[in-house]
Structure 1
């Protein structure tokens, strides 16, 4: 079996920038070792590299591959192991291909997660559909992913960036300070009053749903959590935020979207509104930390409309 050579494997610049910005301590060593690590995994799994996807994932090198024995196409995902990515194989194992991409093989080290996945149509995300149709498909799929928690799981609960002690303070516009305060108080109250816990995708939006052969659409890239359904649905409520923010009557449009999503999935409207506020502010803080100020302002405007 011919071994893959590291020279064929190029780490996308976008991935290098994202990991360097979000995980500066781990980035230099992990990125330097990544091509050789991918080559080793190709050999271990009996795979041939077709191409590395650019940009790929925000914490992962993603490559199209095929199996040497039968030429079956697949996807190899090699991720920096973080609290967000550590439980991805656990969730995929629980779903077993029902509503999500099928996990074919998993290998974990203290710093890296290596997943071999079925090949989906990466060029056709759910975002390619018109918004009403995309939302209909998304809610149907998300409902299938909300399963009882696996026995003896160690999935974390939601940890909003606005929660006390969640991390270093970030510079935010003065006018956004009341939003941060409200989001922190809301997160604390919602966490304390939750009455249900399910397996959650954690990062479910139109970009993380792809067209597939064995089903119309399948979810990818979970950041699994144990929590209430309204938390997961809140991320979907924020999808295509730029479309809503750019439309007239933003508060009314936001209220209408929340009402429709809550009714479609039988989720408490007030809790959905609260978690949507929290997650909008969280996304704004993440964008600020990465230097993407226009994106941060977009999510803060959405939060303000709530």
Structure 2
């Protein structure tokens, strides 16, 4: 019987409710099926958040990574994104079972996370190279969510919380929803985006090469895909200055519209804070405080 961390168990139950409970109940059976089907032996998992992810050794002694998640739309979107990226600046997909939520992925080595770099400007330039390689024009064959789906998610939160949610007022919710609508209607050329690209989802694969992992898969504006990166690995003090420096680098390297970055930053920070409150009954301070930061810049540019 494999013992899962309590925090991970509570996250699965909180986010996925009954489906999460059922998945946890059959988890050990799922591990056994993976070991038998792919002739692998699991090693201790990586730090767990929303999915079970662990390295495993094949019969030929080569290592792979096994990712187990709750089957459904988000899992299917990740698989679709992995197939479209096909290893270009992205971890390679080896095998998949959509019905059981199983991914067999290549093991990236040395596997150092971008979060380990002390030089934030250097890290931002590396991230920009990965982003440039990942972003490809969207097509009808991409079975992933869109930024309009995220707009609808925020509208649903507004309907269910007409007086606001947590520290977010109804006025802020309404303004963020209107911002989502305006941005989505003005996208000139939609791209396939990573959807959750930040310092912990960019991994070193060589002396000067890096690749992304854990794509959510999202069709939308390129400016939207930089927001998660902007909001991660922020210091307790002078965090606004770090965001500004990152925006300067990303806008220059990727030819992005700064105003749209600030608008997406405002809209997404509101949505991300709402998600945290809904799923965990708390929220990241950096996400919450960035709401006002992005909104102030929206009105000054």
TM-score (norm 1): 0.86
Counterpart position of 1:64: 55
Change (3 A) 1:246 1:179: farther
Partner residue of 2:248? Answer: 259
Helix, strand or coil at the partner of 2:292: helix
Which of 44, 62, 65 is matched with 1:51 structurally?
A: 44
Secondary structure (helix, strand or coil) at the match of 1:48 reads: strand
Contact 2:40/2:58, CA 8 A, preserved across alignment: yes
C-alpha contact (below 8 Å) 1:163/1:188 kept by paired residues: no
Report the equivalent of 1:179. Answer: 172
- Give structure 2 stretches of 5+ with no counterpart: 295-301
Aligned to 1:33: 26
Separation in structure 2 between the aligned mates of residue 210 and residue 151 of structure 1, nearest angstrom: 29
Which is worse superposed, 228-237 or 150-159? 150-159
Pairwise CA distance, 1:227: 1.2
2:203 aligned partner: 210
| Distance (whole Å) between structure 1 residues aligned to residue 226 and residue 209 of structure 2 | 21
Contact 2:93 2:106 in 1 (8 A): yes
User: Structure 2: how far apart are the matches of 1:118 and 1:256?
Assistant: 34
Residue of 112, 116, 124 corresponding to 1:124: 112
Number of the residue aligned with 1:23: 16
Q: CA 1:155–1:214 in structure 2 vs 1: closer, same or farther (change >3 Å)?
A: farther
- CA spacing shift, 1:213–1:46, aligned 2, 3 Å: farther
3-state secondary structure, aligned to 1:204: coil
Aligned pairs, how many?
A: 288
Deviation at 1:101, TM superposition (A): 0.7
Q: Is the 8 A contact 1:156 1:226 kept in 2?
A: yes
Secondary structure at 1:105's aligned position in 2?
strand
1:238 aligns to what? 231
- Residue matched to 2:298: none
* 1:10 has 2:18 as partner: no
Q: Within 1, Cα distance between the matches of 2:249 and 2:173?
A: 26
Structure 1: which 5+ runs fail to align? 1-6
Partner of residue 136, structure 1: 125
Distance 1:22 1:108 in 2: 19
TM-score when normalising by structure 2: 0.87
Pair 1:160-2:150 in alignment: yes
Match of 1:75 in 2: 65
1:197-241 CA-partner distances (Å, limit 9, x unpaired): 11110000011112224973211111001112111122222222x
